Structure 1
Amino acid sequence: MAFTIRHSTSVHAQIKRRGPTLVGKPLKFLGLRYDQQLQLDNSLIWHVSQAEACNYAQLQFVGWEANRNGKMGPRMANMRDSMDPAKLAENSINLNLKLMKWRLVPDLNLNILAETKCLLFGAGTLGCAVARNLLSWGFKHITLLDSGKVGYSNPVRQSLYTHADAVAGNRMKASTAAAHLLEINPSAVTKGYVLEIPMPGHTIGEALRAQTTQHLQLIEQQLQAHDVIFLLTDSRESRWLPTLLGAAHEKIVINAALGFDSYLVMRHGGTREPVGDSPKDIAGLKCIAGQQLGCYFCNDVTAPGNSLKDRTLDQQCTVTRPGVSNIAASYAVELLVALLQHPQRELAPAYYANSRAGQHLETPQLPEGLLGILPHSIRGMLCNYENILPATQKFAQCIACSQRVLAAYRSEGHEFLFKTFETAKYLEDLTGISEFKRLNSEIIEFDDDQFDMSENED
């Protein structure tokens, strides 16, 4: 009986397969061995005899198993994790975060960071720095909104652009930044949209009304699809619309603004209903609940106007020390990560000392979350390398997050927005700031005889 066998280990398999029919019969196997001259001198002949039958059903074949169709086939090994460059990059990118969780912060929730969707208003110096820091923390969903093109002055300050982007002359910042983020982390989900952010006091003519409406719809759509909003634009009035929308749709809002050698990083107060216990009192410290914290516009008793009007191009640019943007961007991302690790998220309370004396080392320290304290805002100055952590409450007549403004937006929608774009004074009239400013400007004279001073005497 003759068999054709391609491998010597198949001899035993053939005998087992034939079972009882080969018991006691002598078998010969010819093993052909070729040398370099194709000579068969080294070939071998095996003489094999099977003493007893074997139960084929009990045989185990290494490398063969039943597939999803119930048929025997070779076992497949998935080499993607060790061969795919994108998968290798993803595992390596998260190595630092995994070591951080394993060695230092066991309760760190990395999944919530990877699942959180971030929307960045502005893809300039701050936008690029914030996006890079988000990648470092394991965020995967990043969307950028901007209307500018990459210029020759951008690459040295804005880390997501190159000289080649500037030379091309037609590369928009939002889409270019999104593409370069993918080059850094191929597993990220990034998008860039080119659009103008409508602003109070920036009149929109009939010719641009349809385009502005499209941009508004896209902004609202993207804002509702994301969890966190970063305000990273270069003018005060461009932050008004995302501040309003963030409050109206109950999103986490992180704001970063730059001066020449100063910066402000803050979280806007939450607008959703709090769940759970109220913040606890701590001796020597004051506390503002997260839903009572103010927004970027709560400290102003005026509406944002057109800050770019009658200004030359060099006056419109933000002039700042190069290191300020990186510091502010880092604080903005770190503040967001700390908020996401807190059980109350944006409703986490802000504690602060009620005086300079309260900041003495002997007073109680600020309560810490998983990654440290959760301030309302961080104001820093490079001139003396100092940070302060002020906290402010909501302003009942705020032109961005007050109930009057939110109610007007919810009832009138785009019509309300176009009124504010026509003139910023509309917001002042709506919130009652106009009347406040009028009363504050009047000179009121009092007659001393109208007051009985005896009640004030000790």
Structure 2
Amino acid sequence: MTGTILKFTPFNSAVDASFWQALVSKKLDVLKLSEEQQSVHGEYTLGQSVLNDQHETVVLPSRFSIPANGLEVKGEGTLVLTNTIEEFRTIDKNALFQQVTEKIKKGVDSGEAVTNPHVLSSFLLVTFADLKKYKFYYWFAFPAIMPQPDPWTSQPISNCPILEHVEWPFFLLKETAGEMVVTQLCDFNEFFKDIDPDNRIVGFVDPSSTDTPGWPLRNLLYLLNNAFHVTKIKILSYRKQNSLLFQVSLPAGSSYQEVKSVGWERNVQGKLGPRMVDLGPLMDPTRLADTSVDLNLKLMRWRLMPDLDLEKIKQTKCLLLGAGTLGCYVARCLIGWGVRHISFVDNGKVSFSNPVRQPLYQFEDCLHGGSPKAETAAQNLKLVQPTITSVGYNLSIPMPGHPSTSDEKLAKDIESLSSLIESHDVIFLLTDSRESRWFPTLLSAKYNKMVINSALGFDTYLVMRHGTSVNGLGCYFCNDIVAPNDSLTDRTLDQQCTVTRPGLAAIAAALSVELMVSLLQHAEGINAKADTTNNSTILGLLPHQIRGFLGQFSNMLIAGQSYDRCTACSDKIRIAYDKDSLSFMTQALKDPLYLEELTGLAAMKAESEALLLQTDWAEDEDEDDEGLLI
């Protein structure tokens, strides 16, 4: 049966935006006005198809891409960068095209292409970069040498071999003892020594997903004909899905002695001509960094978690109370998740002991008495990710056991912290004392804010989310029967500093952010119940508390209930605060036992002590009676 003329699917080029940025840098810093041709790396992948939202099969283009590091990796491409748009239009493109064609022909004639088949994929990229407007004009050519005067013909073969993986872009294939054996192209003569020509199979990694093979096959056939005198061969078009097997034949009298090649890429209108991309909005390095962060997360979503709501994470406003070790690590992890709004509250200054454990500070921040922590953390965070909104507030948090110096100052602090908590979505409690977490807990309960609390010991840590009246989970203070008090005065040096294993803060901070992200992905959000077994979010479990023990490298997932006598989040506390916030705070800061009286903890403790005394007295009487009987 006579075969049909073998047709090929051309490449569809794609250039990474970061490559253009790298090209601009090299043009400005290295090449300047030089017109020296540059080596450029390109790549293509297996042809594949995907299902759209309507579950219809969509064939992806035969993609040839230039990655971000295309100028850093030596490749088989030739880059010609002109200095003006006029030169780009008038340059002798045919001469450049023939130059690359000769490179392929020479590689085949010399045998280089047998040991280095990448020569067969040599390509040309002619471009002009408008550095002021960030417009890039470019034209790809993928030279393919054609046989004369007749083309190859093909016939399909139904029993296509199945391969799991191949290591080379071009390879050889044969069946031995019932198994398929694969090797590289340079082993042709030895590999096929005892194989009938009709049973020899040559394969290539095919970027096409259509009924016709991809462009790389053209120069492979040229090599097979010239290096191994092949005029008839089975070809395996290896793809991710639906690989093809067919037999190709070169008609009698046809050959490659007369070199004629084709391969200029067509533009979006389907005509032979250059393309233009306008990256003005993207090529600003700040915007490029912003886009790259989103891209990393989108790749994760596309491949692993299609239901991940990245926009919800991105729009979440986070308030970090404490800009120390925990605060720094939490902030870094937040921007990794794409959070764009991060505020810091701290009234400390950067000391010489901070930078080694707190990654948002440097040695220079310690000089001249130290820079304000909150402001410095915000500034340095924007050096990492310049597109975020980050502000530092040098603010003192009112604390029980620490009376305010004046009602005016206290009122100002109350107003400032209240405003900050009300205007943010997630509150991170990352301070270094128990009492400094009390007022933010009260305000967060009042405004129904998501609270993530993290506290450190020497080799232990607590990470928890505060509950709500809906899920019945407790806050940081719900398990205590003692009101927060002054824990800072008269502390020794080791008590004044956070003495922990260096890796502990990074672990606890990462868990804190991951807990927040998991909570944001839950349908019930802040009201979600504790889950330690059922993977209630797309990211897995959603615990209430994580208690970690670094000494044993273990975690415990615990759920604690809310307490109606809690000194921070109970209704009695919120009602008293709402009635007269200044008077309430003045009394609470002056006398922490006031909180115990207000919530009923003091009465409960008095009843417990009375009951204990009665029990002790009864036991003493029993002992006396027992003695009299003796």
- The answer to whether structure 1 residue 155 and structure 2 residue 355 are counterparts is yes
Q: Which residue of 1 aligns with 2:488?
A: 308
Q: Give TM-score scaled by structure 2 length.
A: 0.53
Aligned to 2:172: none
Give the partner amino acid of 1:141: H
The answer for the alignment partner of 2:568 in structure 1 is 400
1:381 corresponds, among 549, 552, 557, to 549
Higher mean alpha-carbon deviation, 176-185 vs 308-317, is at: 308-317
Q: Which residue pairs with 1:184 in the alignment?
A: 384
Q: CA offset at residue 430 of structure 1?
A: 0.1
Match runs of 1:127-276 below 5 Å: 127-206=327-406, 209-271=407-469, 274=470
Distance 1:411 1:96, change over 3 A: same
Q: Normalising by structure 1, report the TM-score.
A: 0.72
> How far apart are the structure 2 equivalents of 1:171 and 1:310?
26
Cα deviation, 1:43-91, whole Å, max 9, x if unaligned, reads xxxxxxxxxxxxxxxxxxxxxxxxxxxxxxxxx9853244201111111
Aligned counterpart in structure 1 of residue 592 of structure 2, from 413, 424, 429: 424
Q: Residues 25-64 of structure 1: matches in 2 within 5 Å?
A: none
Q: Is this contact kept in 2: 1:376–1:389, CA < 8 A? A: yes
Residue 62 of structure 2: aligned partner: none
Matched, 1:318 2:318: no
Name whichever of 404-413 and 373-382 sits farther off: 404-413
Same amino acid, percent of matched pairs: 50
8 Å Cα contact 2:410/2:582 also seen in 1: no
- Following superposition, the deviation at residue 98 of structure 1 comes to 0.8
Alpha-carbon distance between aligned partners in 2 of 1:259 and 1:418, rounded to the nearest angstrom: 31
Aligned-pair CA distance for 1:366: 2.7
SS at match of 1:351: coil
Q: Give the structure 2 partner of residue 337 of structure 1.
A: 517
What is the DSSP-based 3-state SS (H/G/I as helix, E as strand, rest coil) of the residue aligned with 2:419? Answer: helix
Give the Cα–Cα distance (whole angstroms) in 1 for the partners of residues 295 and 336 of structure 2: 11
Q: 1:346 matched to which residue of 2?
A: 526
Kept in 2, the 8 Å contact 1:269–1:347? The answer is yes
Contact 2:351 2:370 in 1 (8 A): no
2: distance between equivalents of 1:79 and 1:211?
A: 51
Among 310, 313, 337, the alignment partner of 1:113 is 313
Q: Measure, in 1, the Cα distance between the counterparts of 2:546 and 2:490.
A: 32
1:411 matched residue in structure 2:
579
CA distance in 2: counterparts of 1:109 and 1:132, whole angstroms:
20
Please tell me the residue identity of whatever aligns with 2:373: K
Aligned to 1:123: 323
Distance 1:105 1:216 in 2: 42
Question: Per residue, is there more strand in 1 or in 2?
Answer: 2
Q: Per-residue deviation at 1:318?
A: 1.4
Match of 2:293 among 89, 93, 112: 93
In structure 1, how many angstroms separate the alpha carbons of the residues matched to 2:431 and 2:295?
A: 32
In structure 2, give the amino acid aligned to 1:212. Answer: L
Native 8 Å contact 2:519 2:526 kept in 1: yes
Structure 1 CA distance for aligned equivalents of residues 277 and 554 of structure 2: 56
Query: What is the CA deviation profile of residues 91-114 of structure 1, one whole-angstrom value per residue up to 9, with x for unaligned ones?
Result: 112222111100000000010011
In 1, Cα distance between the equivalents of 2:493 and 2:576?
A: 35
User: Against the structure 1 CA distance between its residues 422 and 447, is the aligned structure 2 distance closer, same or farther, given a 3 Å change threshold?
Assistant: closer
Aligned equivalent of 2:507: 327
Maintained 8 Å contact 2:522/2:536: no
Contact residue 252 and residue 270 of structure 1 kept, 8 A: no
Q: Residue 366 of structure 1 corresponds to which residue in structure 2? A: 534
| Structure number with higher relative contact order (C-alpha < 8 Å, ≥ 6 residues apart) | 1
Q: Which runs of 5+ in 1 are unaligned?
A: 1-6, 8-75, 275-289, 353-364, 449-458
Separation in structure 1 between the aligned mates of residue 535 and residue 305 of structure 2, nearest angstrom = 17
- Could you tell me whether the CA contact under 8 Å between 2:319 and 2:342 is conserved in 1? yes
Question: For 2:503, what is the secondary structure of its paired residue?
Answer: helix
- Structure 2: runs of 5 or more not aligned: 1-85, 87-275, 620-630
Match of 1:62 in 2: none
The CA deviation at 1:311 is 1.6
Q: CA deviation at 1:214?
A: 1.5
**1:416/1:447 CA distance change after superposition, 3 Å:** closer
Q: Measure, in 1, the Cα distance between the counterparts of 2:347 and 2:531.
A: 38
Measure the CA separation in 2 of the matches of 1:433 and 1:225. Answer: 32
2:603 paired residue number: 435
Identify the match of residue 293 of structure 1 among 473, 490, 507.
473
User: What secondary structure does 1:143 align onto?
Assistant: strand
**Partners in 2 of 1:263 and 1:425 — Cα distance?**
28
How many angstroms apart in 2 are the aligned matches of 1:78 and 1:216? Answer: 50
Deviates more, 1:325-334 or 1:309-318: 309-318
SS in 2 for 1:350: coil
1:263-302 per-residue CA deviation (whole Å, 9 max, x = no partner) reads: 000000024xx5xxxxxxxxxxxxxxx2x00000001001
* Cα distance in 1, alignment partners of residues 474 and 608 from structure 2: 23
Aligned counterpart, 1:444: 614
- C-alpha distance in 2 between matches for 1:200 and 1:170: 27
CA distance in 1, matches of 2:496, 2:522: 38
Out of 232-241 and 195-204, give the one that drifted further.
Answer: 195-204
The separation in 1 between residues aligned to 2:494 and 2:529, in whole angstroms, is 41
Tell me the CA shift for residue 368 of structure 1.
Answer: 2.8
| Structure 1: distance between partners of 2:410 and 2:577 | 16
**CA offset digits 1:245-273 (Å, max 9, x no partner):** 000000000000000000000000024xx
Tell me the CA shift for residue 134 of structure 1.
0.3
2: CA distance, partners of 1:260 / 1:115 = 35
Give the deviation of 1:348 after TM superposition.
Answer: 0.7
Structure 1 runs of 4+ with >6 Å offset: none
Indicate if the aligned counterparts of 2:400 and 2:485 stay in contact, CA closer than 8 A: yes
1:391 aligns with 2:559: yes
Residue in structure 1 matched with residue 98 of structure 2 by the alignment: none
